Structure 1
Amino acid sequence: MIKFLDLYKINQRFNDEFNATFNESLEQSHFILGNNVTDFEKEFTNYCGTKYCIGTGNGLDALTLILKGYIHLGKLKKGDKVIVPANTFIATILSVLHADLEPVFVEPNSRTYNLSAEDVELNIEGVKAIIMVHLYGQLADVEKLKFLAEKHKLLLIEDAAQAHGAECGLGKAGALSDAAAFSFYPSKNLGALGDGGCVTTNDSGLSSAIILLRNYGSTEKYKNEIIGYNSRLDDMQAAFLKIKLRHLDVDNERRRAIANTYLENVKNKKITLPYYDGSKNHVFYAFVVEVDNREDFIQFLDHNNIQWLIHYPVAPHKQKAFSVFSHLKLPLTEKIQKRVISLPISPVMTNNEIRTVVNVLNAY
C-alpha cells in the first residue's frame, strides 16, 4: 500500500530532536506561552519576512482573530462583507461567520482552483475585505488581488494554511497581504504533532490586538482589557515546529520534484493534471487531479493499493451547516468538487513509490 501521507515516517526523522526538546521543556515546565512559543514566533517571522508572528490554537482561530482584531481596531464592523473563495475548505467561511461578518462567495479560476481576480472585481461592490486562499499550496493571483484591494481600499488577508514556504516575486506566503493565517495541523507541510496556528502581519496594531484576543483579552494575568478568547499556540508544539521549520524548504523542494515527475510522466487523457508554472509559488500540499468518473477512478486506485483523498467532496455552500447559502449558483465550484481527487505526495515518498504511482495512473 502506498500511503497518501505517512505521518509517522515524516515525523520519525526528527525523533531524537523531539525527545530532547520534550525533556528540556518538561524540565522547564513553562507550558503556556513559554520560551518555545516566543522563539518560534521570532523564527517564523524571519522565515516569512514579516514584522510580527502571533501563535494561536489552530488555523481557524488565526483567521478568525485577524477579523476580530480588525473589528477591535475599527477597520471592520459587524455585518461587513468579505469576499471568500467558493472553492475552499469550510474553515475560511467559518472564520467570517464567527466574526459576525458576511461572506461573499466568488468562483475560482478554472486552471488554478484559486480565487478569480476577474470575478472578485465583479463582486466587489460594498465589500470591505478579501480573503485569498492559497489552495493546495499554490499562491493565489496575489498581484491582481493586491491591485484590486489597494484600488478599492480593502483589507487583503491570506488564508495560508496550505502554503508554508510558497513564494513569488512579492515575497513569501504570510507576507503578501495585510495579515495571514497559518495552520500547523499535522498534515500540513509544516505540521505540528497536534493542533496549532499563527498570524503573520506587519501591522503593529493588529499584532497587539491579537496578542490580547488570544489570551482572554489580557496581557497581565487576571487583568482583562477586552473580551478575549483562549487560543494560544501550545508551547510543546512550538518546540516541535522549531525543529521542523529548519527542514521546510528542503521538504518543499522534494514535493516539487515529485510533482514534476508526475507532470512529466503521467500520460493519460482520462486524467487532468494540475496547472503548475514551475516556480516556487507552489509547495504542493496536495497534488490534485480531475477525472470524469471519480468513483471508477477510486475503485481503480484501491485495487492498485494507492491511497487517495478528496479535497473537498462537498462545496461549502452545499454543506448542511450553511443551508442559508444553498440557493447560491456556483456551477464551477460544484463541478470541481465532483471531479477532483488528491494523490500521494510527501517528502518521504521513495522513488520506487513515485514510479509505481506513475505506472498505475498511466494504466488507468
Structure 2
Amino acid sequence: MELTVLWFILLTVLFTGFFLLEGFDYGVGILLPFLGKNDTERRVIINTVGPVWDGNEVWMITAGGAMFAAFPHVYATLFSGFYLALFLILMALIGRGVAFEFRSKDDNPGWRRTWDWLIFFGSAVPALLWGVAVANLIKGVPIDAKMQYVGTFFDLLSPYTLIGGLAFFLVFTYHGAVYLTLKTEEEMAERARKAAQGTGVLAAIACLILVAMTYGNTDLFASAGAGVSLWGAVVVFVASFGAVYVKRCGLGFILSCATILLTTAAFFWGLFPRLMVSSLNPAWSLTITNSSSSPYTLTIMTIAALALVPVVLVYQGWVYWIFRKRVSVKDLQY
C-alpha cells in the first residue's frame, strides 16, 4: 500500500475517533441546561464526561497534526479557507474548557448558570460547524489552480452544508443523550432516554434530508462503497433509535457509535483520492498525490505512528475502563 493511501486511511480513522468520542461530549454539553433540573443534577451530568472530555479532544489535535505533516497543502488551504469557522470552533472549545474548570469555583447560582450555558454554546457551535465543514469538503469549495481558497466565509454556507451542520448537531445530541442513559441512574437516566427519543426523531429526519440532498450536490454516490456506507448509517441509526425505545440503551449506544463511524467513512470514501474538492474546476481539487509530503516524511511519520498510536489507544481504553461506572448524586458527597 502506498504511504499516501495509508495516511488517508489514518486521517479517516482519526476523524472517526474524534467524532465518535467527542460527539457524545458535545451531546452531553448541549443537553446540560435542559436535563439538569437543579445544580446537583447538572453536576452529575458534567461528571459523566469530566474524566474524558479533554482526552477526546486530543483526537482532533492529532488529526490536525497528521494533516499538517502528511498533506501540508490541504492543511494550508483548509485552515485559510475555513479560517473563521475554525476560529469559532476554537473559541467555543476554549470557552467550554474554561467553563468545566471554573463552574464550581463559586456557589452563586448565577455564576454556575452562566458557565452551564457557556458549556452549551461551547458544545453546540462545534457540533454544528463540523457538520458544515464536512459537507463542504465533499460538495466542493472555490479552490484555484494554485491550491488557494478564493472564496469567503459565506461561500461555505448553502442549504446543503447547513443541513449537514444540523444533521451533525442532532446526531451528536442524540449520541450524548444515549450516553447519559448509561452513565446516570434512575430518574436522570430515564429523562435522558426520553431526550434521546425526541432528538432521535429530528436527527433521523435531518439525516434523510442530508442523504437526499447529497445526490444532487455531490458525487459521493459515484462510489458504491460510499453510498452503501451512507445509507447503512441511516439504517443503523434507525436501529439504534429502536433499541433505545425498547430500553436496550447499551445496544442503542453501540449502534449510535456505528452510525457515526459509517457516516464518516462514507464521506471520506466519497472523497478518495481527493481531500478537498474544487468547485471551480475538478482538476484543481487537492488529492493525496498533489498535496502530500515527501516519501521520506511519510515514512518517518509511519514509524512514529506505529510506535505511539497503540500506546495512546491502550491508555485511553484504560481511562474509560477506570471510569466505567455510572455517576450518581452520592458520588458528589465524597
User: How does the TM-score come out when normalised to structure 2?
Assistant: 0.31
Q: Which has the higher strand share?
A: 1
The TM-score normalised by the length of structure 1 is 0.29
Between 1 and 2, higher relative CO (CA 8 Å, sep ≥ 6) is seen in: 2
